[in-house]
Amino acid sequence: SRSAPSGVTLAERARRVIPGGVNSGQRSIPGLTEMVIARASGARFWDADGRQYTDYHAAFGPPLLGHNDPDVNAAVAEAGTRVDLCGVAVTHGEIQLAETLAELVPSIEKVLLTSTGSEATFHALRVARAATGRRLVVKFQGCYHGWHDSVSLNVISAPDRVGVPDPISTGILPEVLDATLVLRFNDVAAVRAAFAAHGDDIAAVIVEPVPHNVGCLLPDQEFLQALRDECTRAGSVLVFDEVITGFRHDLGGWQRISGVTPDLTTLGKAIANGYPIGALGGRADLMDLFSTRPGAPAFFAGTYNGHPAVVAAALATLGKLRAEPVHEHVYRLGERARAGIAEALADLGVPAVVTGHGSVFVTYFMPGPAPRSYDDLLRNDAGMFIGYRRRMPEHGIFELPLNLKRNHISYAHTDADIDHLVEATRAAVRDTLASGGTTELAGTATMGGAVAGGEGR
């Protein structure tokens, strides 16, 4: 039989017809540009050259049940025997999914489906402006909300750009970014000052309740509460972007964990284990502004919204998250991973903060305490962070070798996987240290802590 084409051959073909050879920013990784993905199952994926990786990157977070979950795939196949996209009226599945989301997520009274998280955050800001007649949007350093212009600011800025609007792309009208205020995460005083100065013109505050786009910054309870209080007082719309935290950390999202209820919530990623679906939900009076009746103030549409196959995937995913001890499993493995890695790095004498929440873990190479805002992360040694991750494939493990990226554990990972992860991390960090990893990698232009970009790049 003819042998399958190698990764080098396929990657070369990709670069001829796809700009940069990949279909989303941050899929083309320095040192890994010849990698082509061939197969994925459970906790693992395989490249076109037959190499196996235990996957902690997890496509930036969707496959909480593991890759190619058989129950989710069966639901998608079954939907295909009955119906596909008709693009008129509504299907039973969309009604069931909306009812499920309204039941699970505290802020959600009504909900609309999108195909991506970016569409959900786009419409959250649009409807906030429609509802308030105001212009400004407040966001926080370290948070990523998608690729659209209002939020297209780098989550990881050069040290001299912290606090300064730093566009993620050219081609954005400056007027749009001028309407976005960027504040420091966990900084209650900055929030109060922004509202004191601009409260009458703030349409929305959008926040990742846990900024996972820079690994993991855990929110102070008083910070989330201050956002709630200031928005209520000023009549601004509070948006929790739970695209990562929703379902992964709790079926009710971080809002259920924190007890702080936003006005609007955006969802995506773990909602359907990797099938393309997002959602925007919240207060009925806000969501009803999207009513399709003539004269409704806010417009909302999408050819693929509520596609029966992805709705079936979401229903099957949420059903399994409710029926099986998924959270118990991933929280337990997450604790084991953090404790094991912290102990291994302490043995090596490496200054490190091993943090995260539940299934998410990340190791920053910096002295403690745990970072509370993005500027604390400027102390992370990017050379070590990226350096050990570049060595993990030698141990059959994949963690995305880009600065400040988090890792994810799924229901398909086992205790044995975590034991292997801890020992591989120990070896990879030791080898990075031995090769003078910090200087070797930190010197490279594309590797420094100041690399631009969110996950959309």
- Active site annotation includes 388: no
Q: Are residues 240 and 268 in contact, defined by beta-carbon separation less than 8 angstroms?
A: no
Q: Verify binding: residue 213, ligand PMP, rule CB under 6 A.
A: yes
| Helices marked H in 235-325 | 253-258, 284-287, 308-323
Spatial CA neighbour of 141 closest among 157, 120, 125: 157
d(CA 26, CA 201): 35
Residue 215 is a binding residue for ligand PMP (CB under 6 A): no
What span, in angstroms and rounded, lies between the C-alpha atoms of 278 and 111?
A: 10
- Quick one: which H or E segment has residue 140? strand 136-140
Q: How far is the CB of 114 from ligand PMP (least distance, A)?
A: 9
Total chain residues near ligand PMP (CB under 6 A): 17
Binding ligand PMP by CB under 6 A: which of 214, 243, 280, 428? 243
Q: Residue number with the shortest CB distance to ligand PMP?
A: 117
* Residue 405 annotated to the active site: no
- C-alpha 48/C-alpha 12 separation (Å) is 13
To ligand PMP, the closest distance from the beta carbon of 50 in angstroms equals 29
Catalytic residue among 269, 364, 376, 405: 269
Angstrom distance (rounded) from CA 391 to CA 65? 26
For ligand PMP, the binding residue among 21, 63, 142, 146 (CB under 6 A) is 146
60 is a contact residue toward ligand PMP (CB under 6 A)? yes
Helix (H) or strand (E) holding 132: helix 117-132
Kindly identify the residues of this chain, within the stretch 437-456, that bind ligand PMP according to CB under 6 A. 455-456
For ligand PMP, which stretch binds (CB under 6 A), given 25-33, 110-118, 122-130, 434-442? 110-118
Q: Minimum Å distance from CB 162 to ligand PMP?
A: 20
Residues 148-207 interacting with ligand PMP (rule: CB under 6 A) = none
Segment lying near ligand PMP (by CB under 6 A), choices 80-88, 93-101, 117-125, 303-311: 117-125
Q: Which of 21, 93, 117, 215 binds ligand PMP (CB under 6 A)?
A: 117
CA 355 to chain centre: 16
Q: Which residue has the tokens 């070369």?
A: 12
Distances (CA, A) of 176 to 109, 127, 152, 203, 236: 30, 16, 10, 14, 18
118 binds ligand PMP (CB under 6 A): yes
Q: Which is nearer to ligand PMP, 9 or 23 (CB)?
A: 23
User: Does residue 208 bind ligand PMP (CB under 6 A)?
Assistant: yes
CA distance 31 to 10: 16
Among 53, 122, 140, 144, binds ligand PMP (CB under 6 A): 144
Binding part of the chain for ligand PMP, among 73-81, 86-94, 139-147, 417-425 by CB under 6 A, reads 139-147
Instruction: Please report how close the Cβ of residue 302 comes to ligand PMP at its closest, in angstroms.
Output: 13
Six token digits for residue 292? 């399709």
Check binding of 145 to ligand PMP (CB under 6 A): yes
Is 116 a binding residue for ligand PMP by CB under 6 A? The answer is yes
67 phi, psi to nearest 5 deg:
-65, 145
DSSP annotation of 173: -
| 269-288 positions binding ligand PMP, by CB under 6 A | 278
Which of 144, 275, 364, 411 is catalytic? The answer is 144
Q: Which of 375, 426, 432, 368 is nearest to 401 (CA)?
A: 432
Stretch that binds ligand PMP, among 78-86, 163-171, 241-249, 311-319 (CB under 6 A): 241-249
CA distances from 417 to 62, 142, 413, 421 (A): 19, 30, 6, 6
With contacts defined by CB under 6 A, name the span among 72-80, 113-121, 373-381, 393-401 that binds ligand PMP.
113-121
User: Helices 308-323 and 326-348 sit at what angle, rounded to 10 degrees?
Assistant: 70
Least distance (Å) between residue 407 CB and ligand PMP: 14
Tell me the C-alpha distance between 429 and 350, whole Å.
Answer: 9
CA dihedral 367, 368, 370, 373 (to 10 degrees): -60
- Does 275 qualify as catalytic in the annotation? no
Shorter beta-carbon distance to ligand PMP: residue 26 or 438: 26
What is the token pair recorded at 228? 């709630």
Cis peptide before 369 (omega within 30 of 0): yes
Q: Does 247 bind ligand PMP (CB under 6 A)?
A: no
Which residues, at least 6 apart from 376, have a Cβ–Cβ distance to it below 8 Å? Answer: 366
C-beta of 208 vs 376, nearer to ligand PMP: 208
- Of 250-269, binders to ligand PMP (CB under 6 A) are 268
| Residue numbers at the binding site for ligand PMP (CB under 6 A) | 60, 116-118, 121, 144-146, 208, 213, 241, 243-244, 268, 278, 455-456
Task: Give catalytic residue positions.
Answer: 144, 241, 269
